[in-house]
Amino acid sequence: MTLHRSIRILGAATGRGAGDVGCQSGPEALRRGGFVSRLAQRGLDASWEATLRIAPHGDTLPAVRDLSTRLSRRVHGLLARGGTPLVLGGDHSCAIGTWTGVAAATRPRGALGLIWIDAHMDAHLPHTSPSGNLHGMPLACLLGHGEEALVSVAGSAALRSEHVCLVGVRSFESGEAELLARLGVRVIFMDEVRRRGLADAMQEAHAIATHGTAGFGVTFDLDALDPEDAPGVGTPEASGIRQHELVPELAPLGADRRLMALEIAEYNPLRDQAGRTAAVVEAVALAVLGVPAARIAAGAMRLAA
């Protein structure tokens, strides 16, 4: 049975945290493409609340901080009114705003857990990042490390390391790996996913995010998937998770009443091919938000026809 959730969608139209700014067009491309109506056709109570945009000029750091602050407040407000936020990026620096807002809403009842599905660790500090791109730093900031202007969006660390699990990582630098190892964050690398099976890896991630927490969330960077399934991303990495493997393993998350929010980041419509990546966004959203796999597949067949 599908849980009733009031899905309230926020677009985070930012590309300034990335090397390729094309993903700033992602949220509006999805909205104009009928994303909300297709969620509704699968039985979800969904509405598009707003698309938040980043300042187009000036220094990047204060612009990202401003967007993160506004996004955090909007997410917190949606949760306070009983909604389930679905944040669509934009580059993954949007995670700073999304999860500080969810953590603030959860804090009166306890800690927040987070499943981070990504090809990358996104845990750089300014001095460990080869590019300096802010979309490579959000997890470090959420754990209370890195750029003070971004860490301070939450006032302090939004997440505790023992409640975070990364899945699908296969591209990273030593500095961020050393930080996460020192903090004790569980990272399930892609080779381990292949060895154990994705179902087992996702079960562990779910257990970590729900043990000793009041609720949990899921942040999904589309580059976690193999580029064959999701070409519309700014930083594709070969040998990723396949869509047909992932979507069924998201069902237990959608069936859990403790799910607080979902974030899907890094959709770049300028790099998409025949709408394949947009279709992935829809399939992941449906699965995490509790739509049975058979209904997702039936809808996909109707679209293909």
Measured N-to-C along each axis, helices 95-106 and 60-80 cross at an angle, to the nearest 10 degrees, of 40
Greater model confidence, 154 or 84: 84
Rounded mean pLDDT, 189-203: 98
Where in the sequence numbering do the catalytic residues fall? 92, 118, 120, 122, 135, 221, 223, 266
CATH code for the part of the protein at 6-304: 3.40.800.10
The answer to whether residue 93 scores a pLDDT higher than 60 is: yes
State the average pLDDT over residues 212-227: 98
Write out pLDDT tens, residues 148-179. 999 999 888 899 999 999 999 999 999 999 99
Instruction: List pLDDT tens digits, range 37-71.
Output: 999 999 999 999 999 999 888 999 999 999 999 99
Q: What is the pTM of this model?
A: 0.95
Q: What band does 2 get if pLDDT is binned at 50, 70 and 90?
A: low
Q: In this predicted structure, what is the pLDDT of residue 290? A: 86
State the Cα angle at 251 between 4 and 77, rounded to 5°.
45
With 80 as the cut, is the pLDDT of residue 300 above it?
no
